[in-house]
Amino acid sequence: MKEKLGSTNALYPLVTAIVGATVDGTPDFATIAHLGIAHLRGITLGMGNVHLTNKGIIENGTFSVNLPSEDMVAVTDHIGMVSGAKEDKSSLFELFYGELETAPMIEECKVTMECKLVEHVRLPTHDLFVGEVVGTYADVDVLTNGLVDIAKLKPLLFDMASKKYWSLGEPVAKCWSVGKEYAPQSS
Ligand SMILES: Cc1cc2nc3c(=O)[nH]c(=O)nc-3n(C[C@H](O)[C@H](O)[C@H](O)COP(=O)(O)O)c2cc1C
């Protein structure tokens, strides 16, 4: 039996990222869990339009997406509770830049991406940003055969219902493979 939960968005868990941008020459960061993949190089961000970081994304047409590991949970949560309008968050991390030059990336995050803004949709309360990844940087210790190994990265997963950060579990099956064994039941 199912219970109807109103119009609750139940699309959780989602990976927690720290999104960076340069606002009036100063790097700023926001913790963002409402992000998604539009296509293999396309990233979407749903960001409340009151956030300072949005200003930098619009100003420069660039942003970074940094993936904190489990050991960065406290600073990730802090960034998500304090606005750059109240506290300068630019010195919380060691920063580096790629070819876009205005997308501040976080050295302490083992995987980071610099993105250029390709679409900006103004929703009533939120900015929907669509970015294209132009550069991806990863610490070698989270790679297996040159690819990001999520078991090594240990990303933070965000769940709205429990309001908790979760960690990854075990793999279940191989994609584009296990379905080959599936036999539809005939009624
Ligand atoms: C776990 C977590 C997830 C968050 N996800 C989002 C999100 O997806 N979209 C959003 O607009 N704000 C989100 N926030 C809130 C922003 O990170 C927060 O308001 C931040 O202080 C904005 O900083 P800024 O004003 O310097 O840009 C989240 C906060 C936390 C703690």
d(CA 40, CA 118): 14
Nearest to 69 by CA among 128, 151, 181, 172: 151
Using the mean position of ligand 1's atoms as its centre, give its distance from the Cα of residue 32 in Å: 5
Q: Is 47 in the pocket of ligand 1 (CB under 6 A)?
A: yes
Total Cβ atoms within 10 A of residue 134: 15
How do residues 8-54 score in pLDDT, each as one tens digit? 999 999 999 999 999 999 999 999 999 999 999 999 999 999 999 99
Name the residue among 82, 132, 142, 81 with its Cα closest to residue 108: 142
**Cβ of 155 below 6 Å from ligand 1:** no
Ligand 1 nearest-atom number relative to CA 165: 1
Shortest-distance Cα residue to atom 16 of ligand 1: 80
The model's confidence at residue 186, banded by pLDDT at 50, 70 and 90, is confident
pTM recorded for the entire structure: 0.97
How many whole angstroms from 109 Cα to the centroid of ligand 1? 17
Residue 67 tokens read as 């993936």
Query: Does residue 103 contact residue 20 with C-beta atoms inside 8 Å?
Result: yes
What domains sit in the chain, N to C, each tagged with a CATH number?
14-181 (2.30.110.10)
Task: Report d(CA 68, CA 18) in Å as an integer.
Answer: 7
**pLDDT digit string, tens, across residues 64-99:** 999 999 999 999 999 999 999 999 999 999 999 999
pLDDT at 170 over 90: yes
Q: What is the mean pLDDT of residues 147-163?
A: 98
